[in-house]
Amino acid sequence: MHTTKTRFRHGALTAGAAVLALLAVGCSKASAGAQTGGCRDDAEWSERQQAAWLRSAVAFQGTTDGAGPSYAKASVVLHPPRTGDVRALCRPLAVQVEFWALTARSTGPETSFVMRHELSMDGSNTRTVAFPSGLPTGRDGTCTRVLVAAYAGRPLAGGELPRVTGELATAGDADVRFGTEWIGVHRLLPAQDPAQCDADRSTPNPSPTASTGWDIYHP
C-alpha cells in the first residue's frame, strides 16, 4: 500500500515537472518570437543593406539653396524610417556623419576634412547633427563647396574618401564618388559664393608665351 502511494506521488511529481518544462519551453519560444517580432533583425546585413536602411532615415534641413553667409541653421536629421519595415533595429548601427570642404584647384577639386560625428542609431528616435561652425564659404577668393555624408560602420579609410569627377563649379551629387558601398546618403551643397565659382569657371587658362628667340642650336 505504501509502495503504491509512493509510486503515485512520484508519477504525479514527474508529470508535473514535465508540464512545467513544457510551459517553460513554450514561454521561452514565445519570448523569443515576441523579441523577433518587436525589432528588425539586422545581424547579418551587408554593407548595401545598411546603406539602404540609412538612406531612408536621413534628411537635410536648411541646405536647400546654400545662399547666406553660413550654415548656422543647417542640420542632418536622422529619423525613424517612414517606408517599408519601420521597426527599430535589433542591433543599433554605428552611424558616421562627416563633413568636407571642396576647393577648386588647377589640378582638380581638393578635399579637406572638416568634422565627423559618430552616433548609435536603431531607428527608434530622431537624432539631429548640426553643421559645424566656421565652414569655409569661398570668401577667400576661391570656389569652395561643402560635402556632407551619412554612412554606417567605421570611419572611411584613405581609398574610400570622396572625390569629385569633373568641374567643381557645376558638379552635382551624382558627380561625387566614394570607394565604398557604406554610404547611405550624401549631399554636395551649392557654393555660398556662386559668383566666385562662376568667375573661376569662366577665367580662361593663360596661353603660353611664344618665344621669339632662337634656340642656341639653330643654324
Gap between the Cα atoms of 34 and 63, Å rounded: 41
Ordered domains of the chain (ranges, CATH): 47-202 (2.60.40.2950)
Q: pLDDT tens digit string along 121-165?
A: 999 999 999 999 878 776 667 899 999 999 999 999 999 999 999
pLDDT at 34 over 90: no
Gap between the Cα atoms of 118 and 16, Å rounded: 53
Q: What is the mean pLDDT of residues 20-26?
A: 47
User: How many Cβ atoms sit within 10 Å of the Cβ of residue 50?
Assistant: 21
The whole-model pTM stands at: 0.72
Buried (b) or exposed (e) across 133-159, using 16+ Cβ within 10 A? eebbbbeeebbbbbbbbbbbbeebeee
pLDDT at 211 over 50: no
pLDDT on residue 27: 43
pLDDT on residue 8: 47
**Chain center to CA of 201:** 31
